Chain A
Amino acid sequence: ETGVTQTPRHLVMGMTNKKSLKCEQHLGHNAMYWYKQSAKKPLELMFVYNFKEQTENNSVPSRFSPECPNSSHLFLHLHTLQPEDSALYLCASSQDWDPDSPLHFGNGTRLTVT
């Protein structure tokens, strides 16, 4: 399998649930990202990992917890979410951390918080 794979594609969870989103990249890239895409808003960068080390946490609430066990896998652990957290969560990777290195996105997880 090639590219960036995200699972699950759809997730419905209650506000008291705990769930995790998974991302895997098969591109040999060194940087991985979580983005949040909400309607009528620009993509919001949530977390950045470069060589498995977290280099960016964009003031994200603690109910979102990232994990990067190696440079190919990225998780986003979710707990006690709010309805306004419903969105499309996109994982991306890039060859390295240079500004001209384009992002490669997965197809996203559509999250609905009830």
Chain B
Amino acid sequence: AQSVTQLGSHVSVSEGALVLLRCNYSSSVPPYLFWYVQYPNQGLQLLLKYTTGATLVKGINGFEAEFKKSETSFHLTKPSAHMSDAAEYFCAVSGGYQKVTFGIGTKLQVIP
């Protein structure tokens, strides 16, 4: 069984501030972890993924995430928020053949 918990359904940050979106997971097998972003009126788009190897994963648009097995976490960060980062972000875990479980999503608001 696997699950994803995203802490905070809404997060607000000022433009230029650090973005931190939290994700904790549970999985009975070594997990593959993903972050997706959804802009208004669009589908989900892959930001980054962790499979094996380096625990710090870099993605598109300046985002990165760190896999911490001991904390079962995969938090998403960006050093400096931009207005164009306003969107909904989904953490997902895959523990088997396309058995992907998504979190409920975190809406990021960027305040000018």
Closest to B41 in A: A107
| Interface residues on chain B, number (Cβ under 8 Å) | 26
Number of interface residues of A (CB under 8 A): 27
For B38-60 the 0/1 string (1 means CB < 8 A from A) is: 00011111100101000000000
Chain A binder among B11-19, B69-77, B79-87, B95-103: B95-103
Query: How far is the CB of A27 from the nearest CB of chain B, in Å?
Result: 12
Query: Known contacts being A40-B104, A42-B103, is A99 close to B43, with CB within 8 Å?
Result: no
Question: How near does chain A come to B29, taking the closest CB pair, in angstroms?
Answer: 9
Q: Tell me which of A12-20, A68-76, A79-87, A90-98 binds B.
A: A90-98
- Please give, as numbers and ranges, the residues of chain A lying within 8 Å of B42 by CB-CB distance: 107-108
- Determine the chain A residues whose CB is within 8 A of the CB of B97 once the complex forms: 97-99
Asked if B90 is at the interface (CB within 8 A of a chain A CB), the reply is yes
Q: Is B109 an interface residue when CB atoms closer than 8 A count as contact?
A: no
Q: CA–CA, A31 to B4, complex, Å?
A: 23
Q: Is A8 an interface residue (CB 8 A)?
A: no
Collect the chain A residues with CB atoms within 8 Å of residue B105's CB.
42
Contacts of A52 in B (CB 8 A): none
Give every chain A residue within 8 A of B34 (Cβ-Cβ).
102
Q: How far is the CB of A97 from chain B (nearest CB, A)?
A: 5
Q: Are A100 and B51 in contact (CB under 8 A)?
A: yes
Name the residue on B nearest A90 (C-beta).
Answer: B43
**Chain B residues closer than 8 Å to A102, beta-carbon distance:** 34, 46, 49
Given the interface contacts A99-B97, A100-B94, A102-B34, does A42 sit within 8 Å of B102 by beta carbon? yes
Whether B49 pairs with A100 at a CB distance below 8 angstroms is yes
Instruction: Name B's A-contacting residues (CB within 8 A).
Output: 4, 9, 32, 34, 36, 41-46, 49, 51, 90, 94-105
Q: Chain A residues in contact with chain B, CB under 8 A?
A: 4, 6, 31, 33, 40-43, 45, 48, 50, 56, 90, 92, 94, 97-108
